[in-house]
Chain A
Amino acid sequence: MFARRVDLAPNRDGTSRFLPWIIGLMVYLAGLALSATMVLEQVIDRWSTGLKGSITIVVDPSVDGGDAETDARIEAALSVILTTPGVLSATPLAPDEVAHLIEPWLGKDLLSLDLPIPRLIDVTLEPNSAIDLAALTRQLETAVPGTQIDDHKIWLQKVLRLARTSELIAIFVVLLIAVAAGATVMFATRTGLAVQRDVIEILHLIGARDTYIARQFQGKAVSLALWGGLLGLFLAGVTVLGLWLLARDLEGSLLPAVRWSPPFVAGLAMLPLAGAVIASITARFTVMRYLSRML
């Protein structure tokens, strides 16, 4: 017999029709920003972990002596490296491995072009070792002229700074989206209050408290935000999945493989809920503020 528990007139204001779409768009954008944050987080983590505690020795190839001469230079370098205190291991990379590393920039079939590709020795340091890189550089320069040491620090710092900045920007974008969602709900609620003024007055005169009326607006805002949020989440999920599949199919190793981490998936799934919470708080605040000006 009692058809409804909501006293407000349904669909009297156009903003309630648009609110789910706007919230949906914001959740979609927030989902993409959050995904970008996750990818950057994983990239930073992998680069940091992979490069910390290691150095790379770059040995110039012998132009005249051929592969045998180059191999001899590598052996000479290895003998210096392995006798250096603090070095755990040293592994020379085969030419095809080096070619694979620079494949994203120079393309495939690099070896058939007969280019003088430098050879690399991947050196793993003992944990917390205080290796004297300057001394090692001098020793290598003496034993194998034209050898360089790359401890990745400068490059890594630059890349990490860029990645961290990008991550902060992505988080800032998510926060901006949250603020924009709140502002949207506020304007929609204000319109709703203006349109439903006669209903509100009647409820007031019958004895409704501000909280009773605010709950009605909150309920409506939460319902619309949830619908929009779920739509936005679905679209963001499809987009991220598509990008992930595309990235996975990429040949080469420019980007490390990205995992779907449970905290990220949980964060993504919480976006519609976060939208609903923002809508609820904003609607309540807006209504209570509006009603406080009435008798």
Chain B
Amino acid sequence: MFEFEGANHLVRFENVGMRYGDEPEVLRDITFHLEPGSYHFLTGPSGAGKSSLLRLMYLAHQPSHGSVSIFNHDVATTPREELPNLRRRIGVVFQNFQLLDHLSTLDNVALPLRIAGARRETIQEHVAELLTWVGLGEHLDAHPRTLSDGEKQRVAIARAVINRPSLLLADEPTGSVDQEQGSRILRLFEELNKIGTTVVLATHDRSIIERYQHPVLRIEKGTLSVRWDVTKGKK
């Protein structure tokens, strides 16, 4: 069991297990807490359960047992109609981007704002500005299928951060971009973290973990087995 300091937890997992259908559990007895404004790397071998853990955090799946609490709301007892409000405070960068191919780049990124009911002018201004910042200012009307994987990755990141989420979950966000773009994206995450966004970044890349020195959640065979808190210099 891994306990971070502080009583005010943005994310709290207590003895959480997770399975898909009738399959064996892919996550077992996961317990951890994330404080507001923290930044964690989530690492582990392929198939260890990183994406499943993220699915629980972005409320795409119910735990098979244990308790998951996000923004001090127990997911199991929160009324279903309240879940969209929680989800709007979570930005997700999916590993396979999950962009809507029939929408333009601009419309894809505008989606969270539009769903939240933002004004058209606000949407247009913010989305165009952010897309320009991630280097896609020339591709506002392009559709995802005409973009490279790296460009799709940046669109997915822009969509995840457009509404200034309280919790940002990124599944291998630098996996499809070159080193320069990767550094740029990681700097964006650092900036968001500085202004209070809690970040969980799933990555295989040890160089990123070593460079940024944030606490690490390591998951192996469905169990959160290692906590390497770089800031405290111990494993």
Q: How many residues of B contact A (CB 8 A)?
A: 33
Q: A225 CB to closest chain B CB, in angstroms?
A: 22
- Does chain A have a CB within 8 A of B232? no
Q: How far is the CA of A1 from the CA of B104 in the complex (A)?
A: 9
The interface size bin for chain A is 20 to 34
Binary contact readout B107-146 vs A (1 if CB under 8 angstroms, 0 otherwise)? 1001110011000100110001000000000001100000
Q: How far is the CA of A292 from the CA of B79 in the complex (A)?
A: 12
Q: A219 CB to closest chain B CB, in angstroms?
A: 14
Residue of B60, B83, B102, B124 contacting most chain A CB atoms (<10 Å):
B102
- Stretch binding the partner chain, chosen from B17-25, B37-45, B85-93, B180-188: B85-93
- Does chain A have a CB within 8 A of B217? no
Instruction: Tell me the residues in window 232-257 of chain A with beta carbons closer than 8 Å to chain B beta carbons.
Output: none
Contacts of A4 in B (CB 8 A): 103, 107
Residue of A1, A199, A203 contacting most chain B CB atoms (<10 Å):
A1
- Does chain A have a CB within 8 A of B189? no
Residue pair B80, A2 in contact (C-beta under 8 Å): no
Q: How far is the CA of A292 from the CA of B141 in the complex (A)?
A: 34
Q: How far is the CA of A202 from the CA of B80 in the complex (A)?
A: 17
Known: A1-B128, A204-B87. A295 touches B115 (CB 8 A): no
Residue pair A295, B85 in contact (C-beta under 8 Å): no
Residue pair B115, A206 in contact (C-beta under 8 Å): yes
Binary contact readout A1-16 vs B (1 if CB under 8 angstroms, 0 otherwise)? 1111001011000000
Residue pair B62, A205 in contact (C-beta under 8 Å): no
Q: B130 CB to closest chain A CB, in angstroms?
A: 14
Contacts of A3 in B (CB 8 A): 103-104, 106-107, 141
Instruction: Tell me the residues in window 159-182 of chain A with beta carbons closer than 8 Å to chain B beta carbons.
Output: none
* A-B residue pair count with CB separations less than 8 angstroms: 67
Q: A4 CB to closest chain B CB, in angstroms?
A: 7
Contacts of B123 in A (CB 8 A): 2
Q: How far is the CA of A91 from the CA of B111 in the complex (A)?
A: 81
Q: A111 CB to closest chain B CB, in angstroms?
A: 77
Residue pair B100, A202 in contact (C-beta under 8 Å): yes
- Does chain A have a CB within 8 A of B59? yes
Query: How would you classify the secondary structure of chain A's contact residues: helix, strand, loop or mixed?
Result: loop
Contacts of B227 in A (CB 8 A): none
Partner of A207, one of B110, B112, B140: B112
Q: How far is the CA of A206 from the CA of B60 in the complex (A)?
A: 10
- Does chain B have a CB within 8 A of A209? yes
Partner of B110, one of A2, A9, A205, A208: A2
Residue pair A206, B87 in contact (C-beta under 8 Å): yes
Binary contact readout A90-101 vs B (1 if CB under 8 angstroms, 0 otherwise)? 000000000000
Contacts of A1 in B (CB 8 A): 106, 124, 128, 140-141
Q: Which positions in B face A, CB cutoff 8 Å?
A: 58-62, 80-81, 83-85, 87-88, 92, 98, 100-104, 106-107, 110-112, 115-116, 120, 123-124, 128, 140-141, 159
Sample of 19 A–B contacts (CB below 8 Å)? A1-B128, A1-B140, A2-B123, A3-B103, A3-B104, A7-B107, A9-B100, A203-B111, A205-B60, A205-B98, A206-B88, A207-B84, A207-B85, A207-B88, A208-B84, A209-B84, A210-B81, A292-B80, A295-B83
Besides A1-B140, A10-B102, 7 more A-B contacts (Cβ < 8 Å) are A1-B128, A2-B124, A3-B103, A198-B98, A205-B58, A206-B112, A208-B84
